[in-house]
Amino acid sequence: MARPALIHLGRWGAPVMALAPLTAFILLARQQPLIASGEVLTASLPWVPSLGVELSFRLDGFSLLFALLITGIGTLVTLYAGGYFAEKPRATAGRFLSLILLFMTAMLGTVLADNLVVMFLFWEMTSLTSFLLVGFDSHKGEARKAALQALIVTGGGGLALFASILLIGISLGTFSYTEILARSDELAASPWLAPIIVLMLLGAFTKSAQVPFQFWLPNAMQAPTPASAYLHSATMVKLGIFLLARFDPVFADVPAFGGALVIVGCLTMLVASFEALRATGFKAVLAQSTVASLGILVMLIGLDGEVAVVAMVGFLITHAFYKAALFFCAGNAIHATGEAHLGRLRGLARILPVTALAAVLASFSMAGLPPFIGFISKEYLFEAQLTSDWNIVPVAVAVIVNSVMVGVAGVVSIRPFFMKSRRPLKVRHGETPLLLVGPLALALGGIAMGIVPNVVAGLLIAPAALALTGAPVDVSFALWHGVTPMLLLSGVVIATGIAIAVFWTPIHVTLRRRRILHTVFGDRFYQRAFDGTLGLASRSTQLLQNGDQHRYTAVVMTSVVGLLVLGLVFAGETLSLTAAGPIRFSLVAVLVIAVAGAVATPFARSLIGALVAVGIVGFTSALIFLLNGAPDLALTQFAVETLLVVILTAVLLRLPFARSHSRTARERRRDAAIAGLFGVIVFIGAASMSSTPPDLALSQFFGATSYLEAYGRNVVNVILVDFRAIDTLGEVAVVAFATLAAWALLRRGAANQPTKG
């Protein structure tokens, strides 16, 4: 079988495939002047009009920012993946690049969709593709486990989000975000407001790894480094941030919404900072810092005021640039040495000089040092907290967390690259252009944006803030605002962070010995729930799937009888057993024969005798149809019953005639009780229906429209062929299959007969 053309592109495969996101980036960037002027571009196509679902898309300043990050960093990730998988089989590289492009498409669809149902479909598509990316190295048990965990957590949150979307549709009669935003006051007055918010928060918190769901993201580091860089910088984990920021104006009048975001964001920041100090792997330390950064973004969305919006958008851009660059650098170090443990990586600057330079520049932005854009975004972070209605708690949390981030920035840039090696590291791969273009471009971009912050503010931050607030926002993005409380807090953070970096080893060793917080906020409870679910499934299988068909049938019939009894109980006074008309002795005679056959069935001494008794019941049913003016049903019943008797007879002739009873006397009495109760309930139901005057509306409809619409005078034929065509086709198929089965069994029996000769 021929391989896909993709894998024959050779070393040019990644650059060629990178043209797709690059083209999308250019096309989106061309819309920036129009979007910056306040325009909102929309497009819509009908999809499921009966449900109010349209393929509608919306491009404003905020969605444009996300789309540019997705396509821009996606281009660099595609190029980097070409170098990362250069020595892998071409099929492996092609499969990974295909998944990356599919992941990118899902992300773009999510941030551009205006219809919430369409957005949810792309949202879930990101979960599925991330599952494939995290478990890309499927031969590793850890990768499969992490992929399944990510899918369960984010997929479960997705179900909660879908419920929230449905409730919004019930409340407003629309799934359009544009219309929901315009009618936010109606949504605030909806009786479903509380469950809508709770379910939406669950969906966003699971996607963006907020406490108590933060554990899945660090475990997802089993993914190849290009996927990790993309996952942590610009893509799926920020979808929750995107959703919360979008609906922050909708729920602006609900104080609990913002309060929940601030509390959960601060708690996530603290937990992730603690775990970052305990982490041992290069990528694991960066992953925990990502969780802390996501907590910062959630907290900023919860704060009130325009400064918080500007701070959130600015930090969103800053984090995307330095985090992708640092993951690229970590990937280069691990790729070159085969060593993922941060404490064992030393002296790599000689081997990877350009990577070391990119790591230092990106770390300076992460630490918030001037003239990097990280310095500006950090000052806006403190200003947003100081000018909000909250007390000093968020400020204190931000100082602690940002100090840890400074320490992390120092450790991941200095230790692996510039500290002397304790033991020689075997170098497997050197630096290649495809491995360097991503980290170098992003690291230099961080300092360029810091040097010309007004350009970034005018092109990206101001339009995004306008889309979120609905009004122009003054964005004074600059390196120097004088000696302010924010500058003093930045100084405290940097000094504390340097101390953490210097004493990293004793802090790390001490915290590794204390697992209380890790036990509480790790994946221990998830694992217990997962194992408990599997255990319950195993015990249920042993109890229910025990191989005893008699028990299966008894459970099903007992359930049916129970439901029927509940129906009769709730029917109450509406249940009537009065006679509907005079007694017809011909029907009574046929019914007596049917009852005799039914009673004879369980007492028959042979299977053939039981089959004959069952056949009597079927044929008498056909007679009842015939006596009630339904010859078509009678003929069908005669045909089916004849085939059934023939087939079962052919089967029974191949079974041993002599066998002992497999049922005990007690079990047979229980079966008789279930069967008897079922018969009584069916009799009561049938008698009640026969005593109720029939509703002739449907009959009158068929009689009036059969000739006018189907051009048929025989009403029964018209019903079967036109009004119930699919149902009739199914009945014909059943008869046809039964005929084929009977013919096959009888033909086989004839073929097995010995020939004379």
Structure-block tokens of residue 611: 């089959």
Could you tell me the pLDDT band of residue 234, with boundaries at 50, 70 and 90?
Answer: low
The pLDDT value recorded for residue 479 is: 79
CA–CA gap between residue 31 and residue 379 (Å, rounded): 30
CA distances 448 to 25, 371, 377, 414, Å, are 19, 9, 14, 22
Is the CA virtual torsion 507, 509, 515, 518 positive or negative?
positive
CA–CA gap between residue 334 and residue 81 (Å, rounded): 14
The fraction of the chain above a pLDDT of 90, given in percent, is: 51
Report whether 184 contacts 252 (CB < 8 A). Answer: yes
- Report the SS3 class of residue 55: strand
pLDDT at 550 over 90: no
Is the CA virtual torsion 202, 207, 209, 215 positive or negative?
positive
In terms of pLDDT, which residue wins out, 577 or 720?
Answer: 720
Instruction: Give long-range contacts, CB 8 A cutoff, 24+ apart: 551-556.
Output: 554/670, 554/671, 554/674
Mean pLDDT, to the nearest integer, of 638-644? 80
Give the pairing of strands 53-59 and 41-48. antiparallel
CA–CA gap between residue 540 and residue 70 (Å, rounded): 45
Query: Of 127-131, 502-506, 583-587, 648-652, which gets the smallest average pLDDT?
Result: 648-652
Could you tell me the pLDDT band of residue 217, with boundaries at 50, 70 and 90?
Answer: very high
The pLDDT value recorded for residue 757 is: 47
Could you tell me the pLDDT band of residue 539, with boundaries at 50, 70 and 90?
Answer: confident
CA-nearest of 346, 202, 221, 321 to 275 is 221
The pLDDT value recorded for residue 655 is: 64
pTM across the whole model: 0.79
The pLDDT value recorded for residue 656 is: 63
In terms of pLDDT, which residue wins out, 670 or 262?
Answer: 262
The pLDDT value recorded for residue 7 is: 42
The pLDDT value recorded for residue 78 is: 95
Report whether 3 contacts 91 (CB < 8 A). Answer: yes
